Amino acid sequence: MSPDFPAYAPSEEHEMLRQTVRELADAKIAPFAAAVDEESRFPQEALDALVQNELHAVHVPESYGGAGADALATVIVIEEVARACASSSLIPAVNKLGTVPVLLSGSEELKKKYLTPVAKGEAMFSYALSEADAGSDAAGMKTRAVRDGDHYVLNGAKMWITNAGVSEYYTVMAVTDPAKGAKGISAFVVEKSDEGVSFGPKEKKLGIKGSPTRQVILENVRIPADRMIGAEGTGFKTALATLDHTRITIAAQALGIAQGALDYAVGYVKERKQFGKPIADFQGVQFMLADMAMRLEGARQLTYHAAIKSERAMHGEKVPDLTFVSSACKCLASDVAMDITVDAVQLLGGYGYTREFPAERMMRDAKITQIYEGTNQIQRMVMARQLLK
């Protein structure tokens, strides 16, 4: 292929990265995945392995001590970790989600202060947008931030916050001017150690049990005004712009879960014998596998396509269809992941229904990818709105 031919594929470096992450995940993350799920405990082994290999927040630019990996490389890291353990994949995914608002809208001082420790693996960064009564309707949030001299005082409670209690830093959206609706919402960096910050009990969840999901409770949390991300009233705009980039990481997580389930199912059907031959010899099984693999590859190509557009947008290029493709890949990949994991359980038969085998865990983990960072019903509304503009 001539050097000037535009490559519509991951580069050799991307594929080498995939191999590195897959080997690491197989050796250091997969062996603990079942225990992490069973015990509902944070995957410390995964965090240690990812930090040691500088894979915990590869998206942080080199100027802040990070690897400066592009969006496609970040997708590949999340995908390969999720193939081994979905809970563990939320370490690189949520580090990106929490920091993108700072990258998009934060001051240079804010970027240096908060991105540097994340890049070093000294801190994780969560994202606090949702509330008990403001999920899909995030603009209906009640958390308030009131100006007091050169500080803001925050009061409220954020719900469903991924890695809450483990992360040191939180991007928090709060209402600064209730009269302005969505244009009265601002974004702030809140630290776990700030006085008045506490956490609710861990949610008892269907899946991703290794990643703590908790309320973040803010009671008269007084923070310096320079911790505001961007100008006052721009928080909701930043939140939506962030999701254009990070829905793609949820698609990546879904791809990884689906790939793990498919790989396991393929291995199983080649070994499992019924009626005197491996069940892989039966056409009904072959058709199921073909459909699983075909749909997974379609979702993967759309996700990689969206990642390339995300990268261009992060570098200041105007990408009019980023919102559409990021919603589309998140929606498609998560729907496909749910279907593939259900089929994997089916292919394993009775064994698929037991915790002795990983397929049922993957099925439970896949479900959340259809719900968080915008339910798939919301994604369809977003896509339709883009089409009808």
Distance, in Å, from the CA atom of 169 to the CA atom of 116, rounded to the nearest integer, reads: 12
Distance, in Å, from the CA atom of 78 to the CA atom of 249, rounded to the nearest integer, reads: 7
CATH of domain 125-231: 2.40.110.10
pLDDT tens for each residue of the chain, 389 residues long: 444 555 678 999 999 999 999 999 999 999 999 999 999 999 999 999 999 999 999 999 999 999 999 999 999 999 999 999 999 999 999 999 999 999 999 999 999 999 999 999 999 999 999 999 999 999 999 999 999 999 999 999 999 999 999 999 999 999 999 999 999 999 999 999 999 999 999 999 999 999 999 999 999 999 999 999 999 999 999 999 999 999 999 999 999 999 999 999 999 999 999 999 999 999 999 999 999 999 999 999 999 999 999 999 999 999 999 999 999 999 999 999 999 999 999 999 999 999 999 999 999 999 999 999 999 999 999 999 999 99
Residue 8 is predicted with a pLDDT of 72
Q: Which of 47, 50, 49, 74 has its CA nearest to residue 60? A: 74
Q: Are 197 and 190 in contact (CB under 8 A)?
A: yes
Distance, in Å, from the CA atom of 188 to the CA atom of 232, rounded to the nearest integer, reads: 10
Distance, in Å, from the CA atom of 72 to the CA atom of 35, rounded to the nearest integer, reads: 30
Q: Which of 86, 123, 336 has its CA nearest to residue 213? A: 86
Q: Are 344 and 362 in contact (CB under 8 A)?
A: yes
Choosing from 79, 80, 232, 373, the catalytic residue is: 373
Q: Domain 12-120: which topology?
A: Butyryl-Coa Dehydrogenase, subunit A; domain 1 (1.10.540)
**In angstroms, how far is CA 71 from the centroid of its own chain?**
13
Domain ranges for the chain: 12-120, 125-231, 236-388
Distance, in Å, from the CA atom of 253 to the CA atom of 65, rounded to the nearest integer, reads: 25
Radius of gyration of the chain (CA): 21
Residue 5 is predicted with a pLDDT of 53
The architecture that CATH gives domain 236-388 is: Up-down Bundle (1.20)
DSSP state of 374: S
Fold match flag (125-231 vs 236-388): no
Residue 3 is predicted with a pLDDT of 47
Distance, in Å, from the CA atom of 378 to the CA atom of 29, rounded to the nearest integer, reads: 33
Residues 6+ away with beta carbon under 8 Å from 29:
43, 45, 46, 49, 81, 84, 85, 88
Residue 2 is predicted with a pLDDT of 42
Q: Known catalytic residue: 39?
A: no
Does the model's pTM come out above 0.85?
yes
CA distance readout (Å), 279 to 238, 265, 272, 289, 339: 51, 11, 6, 12, 20
| Angle value at C-alpha 30, between 27 and 35, nearest 5 degrees | 130
Residue 4 is predicted with a pLDDT of 56
